[in-house]
Amino acid sequence: DQQVKQNSPSLSVQEGRISILNCDYTNSMFDYFLWYKKYPAEGPTFLISISSIKDKNEDGRFTVFLNKSAKHLSLHIVPSQPGDSAVYFCAASEETGGGNKLTFGTGTQLKVEL
Amino acid sequence: NAGVMQNPRHLVRRRGQEARLRCSPMKGHSHVYWYRQLPEEGLKFMVYLQKENIIDESGMPKERFSAEFPKEGPSILRIQQVVRGDSAAYFCASSPQGVGTEAFFGQGTRLTVV
């Protein structure tokens, strides 16, 4: 049972354009959402997060949007740069006794082309 | 301030041997999480520990796998009598407190069972 879904395994975007990565979830108990970026042979690197009490959070070139009614979130990267090429994981957590247990999606491979 | 340190980076074990994976959290972090990434899949939660306590082990296989986070020293993920299906990347993450804070990941241990 995949509670966090990233339905696009890959995305190709031209440098300078906007990259939009999508994520859907099924568990209505999730109240905190995160995006991680991962290069091959490295651990995931935290990018940006959003609490369920917000619908938008922005940090530089990265913006995350949350639509709770649709159980959908998206990560916008603008402008996209070649160094953004990596696998992007969406993750979600719920209040579990104060822990930060994350449920991950399967990832989207982003390729930013020159 | 060093990040989350995992060792070894690569570990090769023959079937039936034991594997010990170590994780030193970031300074000041008292929450440790272990995740496993099988080939072509996302990260799957295994276990959540605080100092000397297992908080949530709902993702741990029922047999052969155990984890600890002693008062002194790193967290250890132990796999007894390894099988080929245990081959994966094992990631450790740490956070300073509960939900609402980001978990920071180590670079992972790549376990290969031959």
Residue to substitute from A100, A103, A104, A109, interface B, most B β-carbons within 10 A? A100
Q: Which positions ≥6 away from B22 have C-beta within 8 Å?
A: B6, B7, B8, B74, B75, B76
Confidence (pLDDT) at A98: 44
In this structure, what token pair is assigned to residue A36? 């991680």
β-pairing, A4-5 vs A19-25, is antiparallel
Question: How far apart (Å, rounded) are the C-alpha atoms in residues A72 and A101?
Answer: 19
Compute the nearest-CA separation of A97 from chain B (Å): 8
Question: How far apart (Å, rounded) are the C-alpha atoms in residues A60 and A37?
Answer: 15
Cβ–Cβ below 8 Å for A99 and B45: no
Burial B96-111 (b: 16+ CB within 10 A, else e): bebbeebbbbbbbbbb
Looking at the DSSP bridge assignments, the partners of residue B45 are B35
Confidence (pLDDT) at A41: 85
pLDDT in tens, B18-54: 999 999 999 988 899 999 998 878 899 999 999 889 9
Which residue would you say has higher pLDDT here, B57 or B99?
B57
Confidence (pLDDT) at A34: 92
Cβ–Cβ below 8 Å for B105 and A34: no
**What is the arithmetic mean of pLDDT over B77-81?**
98
CA angle A34, A35, A37 (to 5 degrees): 145
Residue B75 confidence (pLDDT) above 80: yes
Give percent of chain B with pLDDT exceeding 70: 95
**What is the arithmetic mean of pLDDT over B83-90?**
96
Which of A98, A100, A106 minimises the CB distance to B33?
Answer: A100
Confidence (pLDDT) at A87: 96
Which of A49, A96, A107 minimises the CB distance to B42?
Answer: A107
In this structure, what token pair is assigned to residue B86? 């245990």
Confidence (pLDDT) at B103: 82
Low-confidence ranges of chain A (pLDDT < 70): 95-99
Residue B101 confidence (pLDDT) above 90: no
Tell me the pLDDT band of B98, cut-offs 50, 70 and 90: low
Confidence (pLDDT) at A73: 97
Q: Which of residues 18-57 of B touch A (CB under 8 A)?
A: 31, 33, 35, 41-45, 48, 55-56
Compute the nearest-CA separation of A82 from chain B (Å): 22
Which chain A residues are Cβ-neighbours of B93 within 8 angstroms?
43, 100, 102
Question: How far apart (Å, rounded) are the C-alpha atoms in residues A79 and A14?
Answer: 9
Does the CB of B98 have a partner CB in chain A at under 8 Å? yes
Question: How far apart (Å, rounded) are the C-alpha atoms in residues A62 and A59?
Answer: 5
Confidence (pLDDT) at A1: 73
Helices (H) and strands (E) in chain A, counts: 0, 11
Tell me the pLDDT band of B97, cut-offs 50, 70 and 90: confident
